[in-house]
């Protein structure tokens, strides 16, 4: 099946076994399906492409991710349930000597697995790993009309530091791009 072993396992709120993995090329088809499914849903993700991502595009992206992990510029984890990727979380270190203490976080969870504690579990693991990468601050961007996400981030200690009015576009309307951070 797949070569890598899970880093850990936990039970979701509804009792599903969730395994945490680092990314690997042998799961390329799974991550491609996960991202394209989220794209079709037109969820609150700022990177959603205008058309489905091709396998070649996703392979190039995944190789880049693995390279960033190898050189300790990023850390990425996937939540997997029954051999299906149901969540992903990452942190990328700032690209220069002046901002390498700052990490940028991204998180995605399959719509059928939201409110199961998966996002919290992934985010906590990523924050701990960011500390190990000597980051002092992590930041993220969220749509201003994504109230559940904003409440969740505030609950785990994130604070709003800025807004770009009409900075994001989704479902034929503009939303403010809310910038949040957490000191580690």
Express each pLDDT in 59-85 by its tens digit.
999 999 999 999 999 999 999 999 999
pLDDT value at residue 1: 40
Rounded Cα distance between 7 and 76, Å, is 12
Rounded Cα distance between 173 and 51, Å, is 19
Express each pLDDT in 147-177 by its tens digit.
999 999 999 999 999 999 999 998 899 999 9
Question: Domains of the chain by range and CATH?
Answer: 8-135 (3.40.630.30)
Rounded Cα distance between 165 and 75, Å, is 30
Pick from 104, 108, 89: nearest CA to 35: 108
Pick from 47, 29, 30: nearest CA to 39: 47
pLDDT value at residue 2: 47
pTM greater than 0.75: yes
Q: Helices 28-41 and 55-70 meet at what angle, rounded to 10?
A: 110
Rounded Cα distance between 57 and 173, Å, is 28
């Amino acid at each position: 099946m797949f070569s890598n072993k899970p880093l850990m396992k936990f039970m979701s709120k509804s009792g599903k076994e969730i395994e945490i993995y680092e990314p690997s090329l042998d799961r390329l088809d799974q991550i491609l399906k996960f991202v394209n499914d989220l794209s079709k849903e037109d969820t609150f993700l700022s990177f959603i492409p205008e058309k489905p991502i091709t396998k070649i595009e996703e392979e190039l992206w995944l190789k880049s991710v693995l390279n960033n992990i190898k050189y300790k510029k990023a850390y990425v984890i996937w939540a997997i349930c029954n051999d299906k990727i149901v969540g992903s979380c990452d942190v990328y270190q700032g690209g220069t000597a002046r901002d390498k203490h700052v990490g940028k976080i991204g998180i995605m969870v399959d719509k059928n697995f939201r409110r199961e504690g998966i996002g919290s579990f992934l985010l906590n693991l990523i924050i701990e790993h960011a500390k190990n990468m000597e980051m002092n601050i992590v930041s993220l961007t969220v749509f201003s009309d994504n109230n559940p996400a904003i409440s969740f981030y505030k609950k785990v200690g994130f604070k709003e530091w800025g807004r770009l009015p009409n900075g994001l576009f989704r479902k034929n309307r503009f939303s403010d791009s809310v910038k949040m951070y957490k000191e580690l």
